Amino acid sequence: MDRHTFPARPILVVDDERAALDGFEITLVSSGYTNIVTLDDSRKVLPFLAKNNVELILLDLIMPHLSGSELLLEIRRICPDVPVLIITAVNDVDSVVECIRNGAQDYIIKPVDKDHLRNRVRKALEVRELEQENALLRESLLDEALLHPEAFAEIVTQDPKMCAIFKYCEAVAPSTRPILITGETGTGKELIARSIHDLSGRKGEFVAVNIAAFDDPMFADTLFGHVRGAFTGAESARPGLVEKAAGGTLFLDEIGDLPLPSQVKLLRLLQEQEYFPVGSDSLKKANVRIVASTLKNIGDLRRKGQFREDLYYRLITHQVHIPPLRERPNDIPRLLDHFLDQDARELRRKRPSYHPELVNLLRSYAFPGNVRELRAMVGDALMNHTSRMLSSETFKRYIFQEGEPETRGAEGRSANPLDNLDFSADNMPRLKVATQKVAQILISQAMRISCGNQTVAARILGISQQALSAKLKKVSLCESDSEDDLDAPAR
C-alpha cells in the first residue's frame, strides 16, 4: 500500500522543460499521487525546500543555471532523508554513477515510460516509509512509556508481552502497509486492529468483515461492490466495503480462509491500490489500509499451496501475534474484576466479592476460548449469583465439564504428556516405583498450579480433598524417611 493515496507532503518534480513537467504530473496524478509540485527553474528548488517538507524529489540531470548534479549535493545536505530520483536524457553512465555515490536513490532514462515511472516512484516511497517505520520502532524501544495508552483502553492487561505489542502497534500504526494479526480465537485480534486504526490518524471509518464464509463471487461483491446489471437482481450499483472504508481501515478477519481466486484480487488491491467492481471494466482507485487477522498458520497454508506466496509476503510486512490467556495468567484477576464490574453495572446489581480460591482455579484452566471464554464464564456465574460472595461452583462445573485443566490444547484436543512416554527393555522402571514417582510429580505440579490450595489441587487431580491431604502426608513421610536414610551412618 502506498503513501501516495493520501500524501501529507508533496512530490517535487524539477525539469527545465515545461512539456516534460506536464507529462510527469499527468502520469503521477493518474496513478493516484494527488500532491504534486513542479518547478521549471533549478534556482527555485533550494528556497522551496527551505520552507517546505517534501516526500520525494524527481530531479532532471541536465538543466541551465544549476545542474541536477550540483543541486543533488545541496539537497543531501539540507534534507538528507528525502529520496531523490535522477532523470536524464543522456545515457551517461559516469554521471549517473556519480549521482548514486552522492546520495541519489535511483535514476530514470528519458523518454520516460509511464509504468517504469510509477514503479520507480512507488519503490522509492516504500523504501522511505520503511526507513521511517524503523526510526519509529527504535524510538519506541528506547521509550518505556506508551505515547497513547488511551488507544488500548478496552484491552485489560498488565502482561509485559502485551505491553510490548502495544508499543509495536504505536510504531507501525502510521504506516500504510498491511498488518497481519495472529492469535487464537478470543484473544482480542479485532480490538488490536481497532487500536491500530485509532493510532493511525486516518480520517475514514474502521470497517470490519469476517471473510471465513465467503466464496469468490461474494468476496468480490462485498469488498468491491458492483455496477448496475452486473448479475441477475443487480438493479442498481452498490459500493463495496473498500469504498466505505475510504481514507480509513478495512479489517479482514480470518484471512486464512480466503479462496485462492479471491487472493489474486486482494493482492491487486494491496499492490496497486486499485480494483474492478463486479461487472465493470473500469478500474477504481482505492485509499484504504488493510489489517488482516487469522487463527490459522498461513505459513503452513503457503507451503501446502493453499495460500499465495506473493500475498503472504505482502501481508507479513508487519505482524502482531497475541499470546493466549494461559500464557499471561496474571491478567486473569484483572479481567475477572473488569467483567464483574461491567456485568454488575449492566444488571444494576451490586458487584459481588469472591474467594481467592477462584483465581487459582481459573489460573489452572487452559482457556481454549481465551478472554472471550472467560467473559462468558463470568456472565453466567453472575446470572446464577444469589449470595454476597460469588460462588466458585458455576466456574468449577464449567471447567470440569470442559476437561481437566491444563490437559487441553488451543483447540481443545487432548495434550496428555503421559501419551509420549517411551521405554525400552533396558530402561523400563518397576511399575510400583514409577507409579509412586508419577504420583509425587502430579501432586507437586497440582499444588504449584493451585498456589498451595488443596481444594483446587484436588479438583485438578480428580480426587477428593481428603484423599489429597492423605497423599501429601504420605509424600512428606517418604521424603523424611529418605533424609533419615541419608543421615544414617554407613554400615
Distances (CA, A) of 305 to 69, 267, 317: 49, 16, 20
Strand locations in 227-349 (E): 249-253, 274-275, 284-285, 289-294, 318-321
Q: Do residues 143 and 255 touch, judged by C-beta distance below 8 A? A: no
From CA 183, how far away is CA 346, in angstroms rounded?
29
Per-residue pLDDT tens listing for the chain (491 residues): 333 344 468 899 999 888 888 888 888 888 778 788 999 998 999 999 988 889 899 998 888 888 888 898 999 888 888 999 988 876 667 777 888 888 888 888 888 888 888 888 888 888 887 777 777 666 666 566 788 999 999 999 999 999 999 999 998 898 888 999 999 999 999 999 999 999 998 999 999 999 988 888 999 999 999 998 888 888 899 999 999 999 999 999 999 999 999 999 999 999 888 899 999 988 888 889 999 999 999 999 999 999 999 999 999 989 999 999 999 999 999 999 999 999 989 888 888 899 888 898 898 888 999 999 999 999 988 888 777 788 888 888 888 776 544 444 444 444 566 666 777 777 788 787 788 888 888 888 778 776 677 777 777 777 777 778 888 877 665 655 554 554 555 44
Name, in order, each residue with C-beta under 8 angstroms of 233's C-beta and a sequence gap of 6 or more: none
Rounded to the nearest angstrom, the gap between the alpha carbon of residue 195 and the centroid of all alpha carbons in its chain is: 11
Within a 10 A sphere around the Cβ of 124, how many other Cβ atoms? 21
Q: Do residues 56 and 82 touch, judged by C-beta distance below 8 A? A: yes
Considering the domain boundaries, does residue 138 fall inside one?
no
Quote the DSSP letter at residue 423.
Answer: -
- CATH of residue 444's domain is 1.10.10
Domain boundary residue, one of 323, 342, 357? 323
Same domain, 334 and 232: no
Same domain, 397 and 457: no
| Domain extent at residue 35 | 3-133
Q: At what angle do helices 114-142 and 160-172 cross, to 10 degrees?
A: 140
Q: What are phi and psi of 193, to 5 degrees?
A: -60, -40
Considering the domain boundaries, does residue 467 fall inside one?
yes
Reference 139, options 111, 168, 166; nearest CA is 168
Reference 66, options 16, 12, 11, 10; nearest CA is 16
Domain boundary residue, one of 279, 301, 323? 323
Reference 299, options 285, 315, 283; nearest CA is 315
Phi-psi region of 436 (alpha: psi -120 to 50; beta: other; left: phi over 0): alpha
Considering the domain boundaries, does residue 65 fall inside one?
yes
**How many domains, the chain?**
4
Same domain, 318 and 370: no
Considering the domain boundaries, does residue 370 fall inside one?
yes
Strand locations in 176-216 (E): 179-182, 206-210
Same domain, 165 and 260: yes
- CATH of residue 111's domain is 3.40.50.2300
Model pTM score: 0.67
